[in-house]
Chains A and B, each alone.
Chain A
Amino acid sequence: MTAEGGDVLVIGFGNPGRIDDGLGPAVIEALEEVAIEGVDLDADYQLIVDDAADVSAHKVVVFVDADVTGPEPFYFRPVEPKHELGFSSHGCDPGQVMALAQELFQAKTKGYILGIRGYEFNEFREALSDKARANLAAATEFIVKVLRGRDFEAAAARMVAAETQSHGE
């Protein structure tokens, strides 16, 4: 995808044919309905190296993916560039895309990950599980507010603090 001119890019990734792996693209479909000004949207089966070029053309990028083991219903955290080894095209994760954007395009883009808890991944079925659908609704409502308010950093800080408190309890 090329930059459409917005300052924020949201990339949802995953395979809608693998049940809850389709959570990322499902968020993008929902955001297309909302059409928030200045927000560019992209959906793909997986993150890939050339996403680094699109990331570098935006001030903020939000990666949206299904998470196998994360907290319910979702989390929202900053993503730091990850320069470490283990890079493989299919395993290209948000931190690695951020690192490539920085290395190749001198990007100063801020990155965040919206990880939505999924439950079923190991069959071919083009429908989210009931629990994942509920998580999708909550995550979409959250990210719409964040995108409209452009308060990414504060939202991530609040959520990380809440997670920390929850772990403490």
Chain B
Amino acid sequence: MVEATENLKRIVIEPVTRVEGHGKVSILLDQDNNVKQARLHIVEFRGFERFVQGRPFWEAPVLVQRLCGICPVSHHLAAVKAMDRIVGGENLTPTAEKLRRLMHYGQTLQSHALHFFHLVSPDLLFGFDADVAIRNVIGVAAKFPDLAVQGVMLRKYGQEIIKATAGKKIHGTGAIPGGMNKNLSIAERDELLKDIDQMMTWSRSALKIAKDYTLEHFEDIKGFGSFDSSHLSIRRDDGAMDLYDGKLCAIDSTGETIFDGVDNQLYNDYIAEEVRNWSYMKFPFIKSIGPEAGWYRVGPLARVNTAKFIDTPEAEAARKEFMAITDNKPNNVTMAYHWARMIELLHSTEKIQMLLHDPDLQGTDLVVKGERRSEAVGIIEAPRGTLFHHYKVNEDDQVTMCNLIVSTTSNNEPMNRAVRGVAQEYLSGKPEITEGLLNHVEVAIRAYDPCLSCATHAMGKMPLTVELYDADGNLLDSKAK
């Protein structure tokens, strides 16, 4: 954990707070306290691919939910999209596709609400270096109770949608290869419709908070952990944002197309992954550019940047406002992730509202099958970014190969760049590294809403320690949260 080199000292933040799972930041300072190196290490749990191997393919959409307690629905849907192709059922019935979309928008709504209201709002409302005793969700609850309640209820509403479409939280089985196993009953629909207007109001309010914060602080935050980058997502054939389905596209930092309209099944021809000896997590890159410069960002910022438009009216109006501040060129400001995320939150709520009024959700034609395949890829825009699931299945219906590229992996290089930039700007040369200064590094990481996929949370396993060592490896200071 601590590496001392001559005339250097290393600070370790482990694990990073208010991100999903386990992460560790190490910052190496020289004797003048200048940052020599700053890295985000992901303590990635390995072995999941092996866990799935040998299991019947139809179990995969349930098993993959075990990957992560935060975004099980995203894994459920990405896996089932691949399995749709395995059974030749990728052309879903309208009822099945709309039910899945409803589930997915519910997941996006609850995930974005949780992140913004409970993980990010303490930094925005109290300041990055405010007293840590109040800079947390309990502090938000005490000082801004209405806001905290809105966050809880938005998330809860998203969870209710998931429950109605996917079933139990632990054993969600709603989506099955080729379709869905149940529709949305009129009673379930009416229960959800009761609160949708309130959710719209709160979603608009959340978007306004994020937008106002970004615009009011733009001069301060535009350089915060920011850098030019490429952006990648799936999107609809006509260029619309589509969180559930679409073809792969990538643009560079100026908006020029790198590739577009790429069939999901061919992702391997366009994206590769690099291994670096200091991190368990791989570094994906665009093959045509190469590992050095081919890294890219995914997630809300990338999706708003790649979208030519959003097909819901209020989110589209918000997108136009968002793009206007960078003259309709891609926005490369890391802290703008929050504004983009809230545009997607409103988009998801609008979509939910539309779907709840669609009688197709009460249809009974739920499953299709076709020609069996032995290999398939499923890609979805998870709340945190593009999620790839790739499987091979043998003649005995067993999974023989599984490869996943999760959103946080794609954002690995960008997060590391953000950490380096913020550490150099805010920590270099400081005589004392305070908790508030270290939180600046965490703020940059949290902008990406990383999900570090470590769902083992049992009591007694989540300490946070920050340790400062001198050049000789002596412990100078240690703080525990």
Contact = CB atoms under 8 A, between A and B. Distances in A.
Interface of A: 1-2, 13-18, 20-21, 25, 42-46, 48-50, 52-53, 65-70, 83-91, 93, 96, 99-100, 103-105, 115, 118, 121-126
Interface of B: 17-21, 45, 47-48, 50-51, 63, 66-70, 72, 110, 114, 118-119, 132-133, 135-138, 141-142, 145, 148-149, 151-153, 155-156, 159-160, 163, 168-170, 454-462, 464, 481
Given A49-B137, A50-B152, 15 more contacts: A1-B163, A14-B457, A16-B66, A46-B69, A49-B118, A84-B138, A87-B118, A88-B119, A89-B114, A90-B69, A90-B455, A103-B141, A104-B141, A123-B47, A124-B48
B70 A67 contact: no
A91 B163 contact: no
B42 to A, nearest CB: 14
A99 B118 CA distance: 14
Contact of A122 (B114, B456, B457): B456
A118 B481 contact: no
Contacts, number: 157
B459 A70 contact: yes
A167 to B, nearest CB: 17
A103 B145 contact: yes
Q: Which 5 A/B pairs are nearest by Cβ-Cβ distance?
A: A17-B66, A45-B69, A124-B51, A103-B141, A50-B156
Contact of B20 (A89, A118, A123, A125): A89
B47 A124 contact: yes
A17 B51 contact: yes
A14 B145 contact: no
A161 B70 CA distance: 37
A21 B457 CA distance: 8
Nearest to B118: A49
A140 to B, nearest CB: 17
B389 to A, nearest CB: 16
A46 B47 contact: no
Tell me whether chain A's interface is mostly helix, strand or loop, or mixed.
loop
A44 B68 CA distance: 11
Contacts of A103: 138, 141-142, 145, 148
Contact of A66 (B156, B169, B458): B458
B153 A90 contact: no
A124 B48 CA distance: 6
Contacts of B21: 90
B481 A121 contact: no
A121 B456 contact: yes
Given A17-B51, A86-B481, A103-B141, A50 B459 contact: no
Contacts of B63: 17, 126
A18 B456 contact: yes
B459 A14 contact: no
B457 A91 contact: yes
Nearest to B454: A90
B152 A67 contact: no
A125 B135 CA distance: 37
Contact of A87 (B48, B137, B156, B457): B137
Contacts of B170: 16, 25, 43-45
